[in-house]
Amino acid sequence: MIDPTIIQKHTQELLDKMVSSAEVTVSEEDGMMHVNIKTEEDAPTVIGRHGETIRAIQKILEVIVFKETQERADLVINVNDYREKQTERLHYIADQAAQKVQEKQSATYLRGFSSYERRIMHEHVATTYPELSSYSVGEGRDRRLVVDLKGNEPQVQPESQGEPQSQEEELNIDIE
């Protein structure tokens, strides 16, 4: 197990280059190191647009810590409870998509989410809506999360096929 003070030291050094003031605490839970950052006015700088900066900081810290310890660091960075607020927002979006699928009895596509965000929505749909399923289609930036009726999932998706051929609508929800 990696010493939390190593993670805290490198996180603080990185943040000192980015923002004027930030407090860092590190805790371990189920083999995952949780890095909590508290900052007053600099949270948007550390989080970034749609969490892009927080994900980049996480990757950079994983590399720095591995280089020093030769151990893989499983990190989750949270800034001013951003992850909790993000999860609430993603659950709301998944609920809206599920409602639409139930009303129209057809698939709904969601785009513009990171793999981490899609995973949170997949888990929410699986635990909250037993009659529905969710899966991802497409590649790279065109990857979409699909919420559909259980049993409508594609069995095997050929690589040349970006998404199931259908006339289904996309659910347009403001994700900012």
Predicted TM-score (pTM) of the model is 0.71
- pLDDT per residue, tens digit, the chain (176 aa), is 899 999 999 999 999 999 999 999 999 988 889 999 999 889 999 999 888 899 999 999 999 999 999 999 889 999 999 989 999 999 999 999 999 999 999 999 999 888 888 999 999 999 999 999 999 999 988 899 999 999 887 765 445 444 444 444 555 554 54
DSSP string, the chain: ---HHHHHHHHHHHHHHH-S--EEEEEEETTEEEEEEE-SS-HHHHH-GGGHHHHHHHHHHHHHHHHHHSS---EEEEETTHHHHHHHHHHHHHHHHHHHHHHHTS-EEEES--HHHHHHHHHHHHHH-TTEEEEEESSGGG-EEEEEETT-S-SS--TT-SS----PPBP-----
The domains of the chain, with CATH numbers, are 4-80 (3.30.300.20), 83-176 (3.30.1370.50)
